[in-house]
Structure 1
Amino acid sequence: MKFLLIEDNKELASAVCARMQIDGHVVDHAECFQDAIAFADTEDYDLILLDIMLPDGDGRTFLKHHRSRQKDTPVIVLTARSQVSDRISILDLGADDYVTKPFDHEELQARCRAVLRRKAGTTQSTIQLGNATFDPVAGSLTVDGKPITLRNRELRLLELLINAPGQIFPKHKLFDRLFAYDEDVSENAIEVYIGRLRKHLETSDLRITTLRGLGYRLDHG
């Protein structure tokens, strides 16, 4: 999944990005209010981690702006404020959850998983297509009940495709979702990951179709 981290503390941001990337997530990092607005207005994210105290603005103002654009991206606020009234005001502005600093990284990861489960709906936590079962939260794929081992970006690519079977994904769209803004990677990397994923899906009812000049589509049956 693709996350946006809005945090001006470089040491904390580096630690959070590293933990999330280990889980296979792509993370864009904004250090200030203006960068956060630019990222959020031009990219689609699965989750936003938002610091309240920013050097050039207030995270609550960002949250108001984001919700005013009718975006329902889950937002977890990272705050040093522990007063009950502060936490209530944050939730009333549209935050989905909050974590009080200093926090344990495992707790943050658990809260991210919980928010994403709520967003997806607990009754739809797994996706079944033919003989393939995919659990996006656990990051697991089984074919005929047998686990298929995928690397992180292969999992994220499958997640994009399997959530919208039959939909055509242009290469640039997949690229934007799989790689962070500052990664020095060519769009041709998508072809490499498509090829790897096809090999993993050989025994499944799923197939990835290439539509020249248009992109890729996941078909099943």
Structure 2
Amino acid sequence: MNKSVLAILAASSFSVSAAPYVGLEYGFGTTDHDIETSFKADGVTLNPELEDGIFGGFVGYSLNDSWAVELGYSQFDLDDSRSKNLGIVDIDGQNYHHEMDWDSSIKAKQITFAPVFSHALNDKWTTKFKAGLSYTQYESKASKHEEHELVSNDDVEMGSTLFHSSEKNNELGAMFSVGAEYKILPQLTIGANAKYQLDSYANTASINLGSTYYF
């Protein structure tokens, strides 16, 4: 009888604290990778870098006051490019500005799954620690373009692609995060975290700001 009562009480306390939540975050950081695009004949080497930030979202389920499980998604782009003005050339009796462009980019789409440990500092502040797995699809592209722009009318342009390549890599890795959130409403928080994700293709370190809604 006593065991049955204890089991009912434990189940009741678990169901009270268990709840789903959703959130969005945006961050800035750096990505370290070994992808370097070299156009040897032109003397151009490109190394894509993170410039526009990292957009992410997540859904989670709180098992109790301390533990939750969370599924996240994020995406970011790495870019690098060069342009060179090659002067004016004559095409069919008309003068054109001649320009060469080189581009290299990496698009990353990432899914993470992690247990989350929370520790309440007071009724407003809570620290959070995450450690889990990541699965990332990297799509790298490189291209070389030639452009001609009419000197007398810059609305008249001609362009051609001299080189283009693309490659996809799917990588399994790990993710670690430490952060804190502040409760501004009973079900709404804002927060920040430092995150590090690594796999055999690239390593990304970021600082992220976000908001979470608890149902």
Q: Which has the higher contact order (CA 8 A, sep 6+)?
A: 2
Q: Which has the higher helix share?
A: 1
Q: Which has the higher strand share?
A: 2
**Do the structures match in fold with TM over 0.5?**
no
Give the TM-score range, shorter chain.
under 0.3
Q: Give TM-score scaled by structure 1 length.
A: 0.18
